[in-house]
Every structure is written in structure tokens, then in C-alpha cells.
Structure 1
Amino acid sequence: MSTACYEIIWLRGLLTELGLSQAQPTPLHADNTSAIQIAANSVYHERTKHIEVNCHSIREAYDRRVINLPHVSTSVQIADIFTKSLPCQHHNFLLGKLMLVDSPASI
């Protein structure tokens, strides 16, 4: 999330320099509800004291409304096709989301 957040901040800065400022926060989709809650909740908790500086930068961007953190359900997490063994039907569903098609047989 932190690398994506840095990229969002950089791209928004570039767009602002080009005269295309954005009024709405950029969605940074995440599937980890715990990470979303830690980033969105500025209250210090004893259990989160080991969190690195990256979390604080995400929290700062969230507080400044540069990003928002919508949750992505596991059933539509496209990255799962690269990282998990999936049933055929779910694999084909995610393959369709990637817009991958079979090449024609005549080629």
C-alpha cells in the first residue's frame, strides 16, 4: 500500500503541475481490513506500535484526503489469479476481469 500511495502522490503532483488538479481523493483499493483500519484510525494503540514509517505516510495521505481506502472483497481480488490455486470457475471469472482472451487458432 505504501508504494502505491507514493505513486499516487507523485502522479497527483504531476497532474497538478500540468494544470489538472483533482478535488476528490484517489481510491487506493485494499483487501486487508486491518491495514485499512490502522491507516484510517489515528488513535494510537499498543498493538500497533511496531508499525513502520510507511503506515504513517499512508495515514497522513488519508488525513489530507489525497487517498481513500475502499475495501476489495476477496471474491473479486484480481491478484489472486497470480498467487493462489483457484477453482476453474473462479479462475475464469478473474481471467475475464483481466480481459485476457485466447489468441485465434489460425495465427
Structure 2
Amino acid sequence: MAEAQQKKPEQKPFKERFPARKSAALRTLAANLRRLRKERGWSQDTLAAAAGIDQNAVSLIENRRSNPTVVAVEGLADAFKVPIAELLTPGTKTRSARGGA
């Protein structure tokens, strides 16, 4: 019974548990994901389902609070039907923005 009465350690705030990363590659990935998602009118839930990952993962990636696996990035690229390199290239215009398919 004494164990049940013990206080749980206080959890750190979200921003301390998931700090925004300063990586240029993650900044580019986040910006490209958000842009592509908004161009298509998709919610994070829609993108997550298409990429086969959790919605929380999409949010963390878009906010640079996650270091996604190659498999997750591959799933995101597949969902958008773009090469992985397009997600990681600064200032990339999508095929749809260029007038392609």
C-alpha cells in the first residue's frame, strides 16, 4: 500500500522531452513535408495513414522534434509519390507545383 501512495516523479515539459533539433536536414525535411501536405490539403492523420506511420510521428517530424528513421522518410516520400531526395532538398518544388503529374 505504501508503494501506491508514493508520488510519481514529475514529468518534464514537452519541449524539454522533445527539443527542436537544429539540423539543417531536419529543418528542410520539416518544411518540405508541411508544404507538400498543405498543397494536397491533407491533415497529419491523412499523411500518417498514407505513409504507414503514426500521426504523432508526423507532428514530431514537422516540428523538428524527432529524428525519423530512413524507413519513415521512405514512407513519407512514397505517400507523396516523390523521391526521398526531394524531401531533403532545400527549396524543392514538387512535381505538381512544376506542372507535372
TM-score, normalising length: structure 2:
0.25
Larger Rg: 1
